Every structure is written in C-alpha cells, then in structure tokens.
Amino acid sequence: MEYLKWSYQESIATITIQRPPANALSSGLLRELSAILDEIEPNREIRVIVIHGEGRFFSAGADIKEFTTVTSSGDFANLGKFGQDLFDRMERFPKPIIAAIHGAALGGGLELAMACHIRYVSETAKLGLPELQLGLIPGFAGTQRLPKYVGVARAAEMLFTSEPITGLEAVEYGLATRAFPETDVLEQAYQLAGKIAKKSPVSIGAAIQLLNYAKTEEFYEGTKKEAELFGKVFISNDAKEGIQAFLEKREPNFKGE
C-alpha cells in the first residue's frame, strides 16, 4: 500500500490515510481502499472500522493534479462512477465504519466521510464541498448525500458558496454525530467502536441493511446523473480555467463556457 495503511487490534480495524501534505484522494488511493475492504470483509475477528487521516488533515480533497491527466468526458464519468460505487459499498458494508475527522474533510474527503456510517469530528475541523470554486462539481455522490444530512437549502448554500462549515456546525446541521477537541477525536472514535464491537455482528449487519432502505430510487438516479454531469463539467473551459487557477494559486476567471 502506497497511500493507506491498515491494521487491527482485537475487533477494531484502523485505516489510515497517509498521503501528505493534504491526504488528497487519487484513483490509486481509492483502489487501495477497495482492496483493504476486500481483506476486512471476510475477517470474522474484525467487527468495526475506524478511518482517519495522518498529519494535519482527514483529507483536504481530491488530487487536482491527477485531473489534468484526464481528457475525455467519458473518463471523468467513469472515475465518478468508480468512486460512487466504492462509497456506496462502504455505506452498505456489513461492519460499521466510523470516520474520525480532524483538520479538514473537503471535496472528495467529505464525500468519503459521508459514506461512513458515523462521523466524529474535531470542533474546529472544516467540512465542505468546494468544487464549484474551481468550476467543477462533486463526483462521488456528494450532491446526493449532503442534502440527505443537512437538507437541500443548507446543501445548496455550501455548494454554491464553496465555503466550509466547522465541526461544531456539522453536528448542529446533522452532518456529524459528535464534536470533540482535536486531540480527543480519534480516542473517542475508538471508544465508540469498542461499544459497537460488543454487539452481535448478525444484528449489526441486519441494521446496516435496513438503514440503507432509507435511500430512495431518486438517490440512485441522482448519482447516475451526477457521474454524467461530472464528465461534462470537467471538460468545460471553465473547469480547465478553475484547475489552472488552483495550480497557479490565483482567482479563476470563469466565462460560462
């Protein structure tokens, strides 16, 4: 593994994102995460998963530089579909997944966190979907999961302004479960994992299945449309300008084309 490491002690597995400086999500990192889930799923000793980031952030977003190597709408749509399928698998995973978020969970990082069953955050963490700042849109079902947690109006505000909210606001809005001082987040996540690990794996797995019935057909129609538009938006001139401006650390000049 190049971007992730994982281990387990007793019944709790820990997945650590280790891609400094920002723990940016790349296609390679997502493939590694899929491979780790393949290993964990049949392991009867593991009952709960905690995922967190090493260093300053949980994950500050997707790997923008990788986007510059993709040129076609279809390739971008396929990338979006791959991420969507992986995060849907996480949401349906038979073992509970807890995200312990500190620093920032932005863009793809927040989409990853939203696919976890429970989110514990630091009080000062920044959570948001800033893709529109770059002339892009979320592609890993962020446009569908965020309204489910915070409501359509707040999701619209977060998307349209690209401005993040704090960990305390995330709890208030329903995006996170609990907030703690940054030094306590991971330990609190392990304490929660320990409580869950004492429950019957059979009943936990059944509860996860039932919770997923809360997803509507419109959710899946929305993710399909998101992947399609993800591809179209990413080859627009505005997207090219937004990515270039990000890499050059300047304000983008969008022309609506």
Helix/strand/coil (H/E/C) assignment for every residue in 25-50 = ECHHHHHHHHHHHHHHCCCCCCCEEE
Burial 125-162 (b: 16+ CB within 10 A, else e): bbbbbbbbbbbbbbbbbbbbbbbbebeeebbeebbeee
> Would you say residue 209 has pLDDT above 80?
yes
Residue 72 CA neighbour count, 13 Å, CB half: 3
In a domain, 66, yes or no: yes
In a domain, 8, yes or no: yes
Q: What share of the chain is helix, strand, coil (3-state, %, to 5)?
A: 50, 15, 30
pLDDT score recorded for residue 235:
84
In a domain, 112, yes or no: yes
Q: How many CB atoms lie within 10 A of CB 79?
A: 22
Alpha helices in 56-184 (DSSP H): 64-67, 73-92, 108-114, 142-150, 152-161, 167-173
In a domain, 48, yes or no: yes
In angstroms, rounded to a whole number, what is the distance separating the alpha carbons of residues 157 and 150? 10
The β-bridge relationship of strands 165-166 and 104-106 is: unpaired
Query: What global pTM score does this model have?
Result: 0.90
Q: What percent of the chain has pLDDT over 90?
A: 74
What CATH number does residue 28 fall under? 3.90.226.10
Q: What is the mean pLDDT of residues 128-135?
A: 94
Across all residues in the chain, what is the average pLDDT?
93
Residue 68 has pLDDT above 80, yes or no: no
Q: Is the residue at 98 inside a domain?
A: yes
2, 45, 91, 111: the active-site residue: 111
Distance CA 46, CA 40 (A): 7
What residue numbers bound the domain in which 52 lies?
4-181
Per the residue annotation, which of 32, 123, 131, 226 is the catalytic one? 131
How does residue 155 score in pLDDT terms, banded at 50, 70 and 90? Answer: very high
Confidence band for 85, pLDDT divided at 50, 70 and 90: very high
131 catalytic, yes or no?
yes
pLDDT of residue 75: 83
Tally of domains in the chain: 1
Is 238 inside a domain boundary?
no
User: Does residue 198 form part of some domain?
Assistant: no
The answer as to whether 53 is a domain residue is yes
Q: Give residue 70's pLDDT.
A: 72
- Residue 111 among the catalytic residues: yes
Using alpha carbons only, give the angle 127, 41, 39 rounded to the nearest 5 degrees.
95
